[in-house]
Structure 1
Amino acid sequence: MASPLPVRDGVGATRLHLPMDGPWPTIGAYMAERFFHLDPERLLSRFDRGEIVARDGTALTRETPLGAHEFVWYYREPPVEREIPFEVEVLHQDRDLVVADKPHFLPTTPGGKYVQNSALVRLRNQLGIPELTPIHRLDRATAGLLMFSVRPETRGAYQLLFERRTVEKVYEAVSALPDEWDPASPALGGHPFPIVYRNHIEKLRANVCVRVDAGREPNSETLIELIGADDRVVHTLLRPHSGRMHQLRVHLAALGAGILNDGFYPELLPEAPDDFDRPLQLLARELRFTDPLSDAPREFVTQRTLQNAPVA
């Protein structure tokens, strides 16, 4: 459903689905109750300023009755954001794709306390492309390659690549050296390299961490190869064959090699402000696929490195 409001400062308008009947005499009364954490008069004053509109772009008023419209659109009031002091870099741009190198700490899309400080909004503003849309996502803590669609007409073709898992994704990670590490016979959790690790990962509602269910059939798989090690850390190459939430972090933690600076696995640590000197040592390193429009092979490689990786 197309928005009647244009993208503003890189951010699209929010759509709200309204009940068509109920105990609220007006749309404003419903919204004031739904968003009870906001000052009611401040919310209703947005109707007075014409900031809440119907599907045809008509501004609603405080008196617009409930049931007059099923959907309304409005711009969220921007949060006060902490600046993320790292830049997202464009590695490739053509008429259909933008490939960017995302830094640690920057979310892929706006949400919660990060709006302008998201890769999507920064790139929309930087490139002047309001239709720019991410084709896949990276965790805020993970750095590396992100692909964006430029044109709605070709977006679906690239999204299908990820849905059908025909994109080869390669990551690298740095973990603290396990106590039992033997440089003469390198292994993790008793498994010699290369390691194919599988388990069942389940995302639970309202939980920031996923749950591993050892009693169920595996639904996640990662090939783990050794890049190198020193007396501090082990550096691994990760090839996920599935795309479960936090899969790489969970798999390395299960093998006794939790990724450096991971506040979620193997143990959930108390929430704390970002420490920009201690990024998660996980990097989306490579993307390879056959272009669905031209049938040409495409390959992209990050220009970023992990700060705790062993010196070659």
Structure 2
Amino acid sequence: MGRQAKANAVVPLPVRDGVAPSYLWLDDNPPGGALAFLAAHFGDVGEAVWRDRMARGEVVDASGALLGPDSVLRRGMRIWYYRELDAETPIPFEEEILFRDDHLLVVDKPHFLPMTPGGRFLHETLLVRLKNKTGLTQLTPIHRLDRETAGVVIFSVREESRGAYQSLFQKRQVRKEYEALAAPLPALTFPLVRRSRMVEGKPFFRMQEVAGEPNSESVIDVIGAHGDTMLYRLQPHTGRKHQLRVHMAALGAPIINDSFYPDALPCKDDDFANPLKLLSRSIGFDDPLSGQARRFESLRTL
């Protein structure tokens, strides 16, 4: 599959409707022309679609030269194009910008909205929405939230200062606090620390705990009762995929409406009335440029 261009990459096609072009790197010398290769490589995109894209000048090489149906392809070439979807399900929830300066854009993400393009989502992603809303073409997420998770997420506005903020996350100098609704755990004493070794599980999109040296750590505490459930405060000290969801399920209190843990439920359409009850409540850190203490908090509730 093609890869989307990074914000700081030199690319021969401009950002279009908030979507950066994608590229495909050729590892060998494919037989036939560009049209035959692309139609074969992307089996779900027919020749007619690629022919139309070529006619519109939207398939080029790294120098920006147009590629036509009979263009010869060679090993080491990059083919640039725009990813397109015939139909995309609208996500009926809006993000909210919490803060913006010359270096950062802080956003309150709704449930169900993916961070970046992928799979069946392109325009209905937080990154593309924000590029269209702000005009910031270099916008790049510094960290990620699951599509199912809502709350505070931070984007870099410019390449020059991006590394300074990324290093905060790499060095674990960011204070992240989440909230979750789940069943009570009366047999446990809070706060507690959950440490475990997490690896990719089955199906491929899930994570699982296994024996071995821990590579994940979460601090879990109780905020208070919420009807028949409890509201928990979760502080991840590491950033493993689905970490909080896995840890809560392992304790015997999976987060409400979690379709992945403890068991993966059959695939179905999004149930917008029943979002995952997990919220990125706040993010805090000492700004690496100004030294100022910063804390951003979600306006959403569970």
TM tier relative to shorter chain: over 0.9
Q: CA deviation at 1:231?
A: 4.9
Tell me the secondary structure at the aligned position of residue 125 of structure 1.
Answer: helix
Tell me the secondary structure at the aligned position of residue 50 of structure 1.
Answer: coil
Structure 2: distance between partners of 1:252 and 1:290: 29
Report whether the alignment pairs 1:3 with 2:1.
no
Deviations 1:9-60 (A, max 9, x none): 11100011013424x1323322221112222233234223321011121111
Structure 1: distance between partners of 2:48 and 2:290: 55
Q: Contact conserved, 1:132 with 1:151, CA < 8 A, in 2?
A: yes
Structure 2: distance between partners of 1:110 and 1:204: 23
Tell me the secondary structure at the aligned position of residue 120 of structure 1.
Answer: helix
Q: Which residue is 1:267 aligned to?
A: 263
Q: Which residue is 1:126 aligned to?
A: 133
Structure 2: distance between partners of 1:230 and 1:98: 32
Q: Which residue is 1:192 aligned to?
A: 189
Q: How many residues align?
A: 294
Identical-residue share of aligned pairs (%): 47
Q: RMSD of the TM alignment (CA)?
A: 1.6
Q: Which residue is 1:170 aligned to?
A: 177
Q: Which residue is 1:208 aligned to?
A: 205
Match 2:274 to one of 260, 267, 278: 278
Q: Which residue is 2:288 aligned to?
A: 292
Structure 1: distance between partners of 2:239 and 2:288: 21
1:95-106 → structure 2 map (5 Å cutoff): 95-106=102-113
Q: CA 1:46 to 1:241, structure 2 compared with 1: closer, same or farther past 3 Å?
A: same
Q: Which residue is 1:13 aligned to?
A: 21
Letter of the 2:80 counterpart: W
Structure 2: distance between partners of 1:151 and 1:230: 41
Q: Contact conserved, 1:79 with 1:115, CA < 8 A, in 2?
A: no
Q: Contact conserved, 1:32 with 1:44, CA < 8 A, in 2?
A: no
Q: Contact conserved, 1:198 with 1:220, CA < 8 A, in 2?
A: yes
Query: TM-score, normalised on structure 1?
Result: 0.90
Tell me the secondary structure at the aligned position of residue 36 of structure 2.
Answer: helix
Q: CA 1:43 to 1:134, structure 2 compared with 1: closer, same or farther past 3 Å?
A: same
Deviations 1:130-160 (A, max 9, x none): 2111111100100000101111111111111
4+ runs deviating over 6 angstroms: none
Query: TM-score, normalised on structure 2?
Result: 0.93
Q: CA deviation at 1:69?
A: 6.1
Which runs of 5 or more residues in structure 1 are unaligned?
Answer: 182-189, 307-312
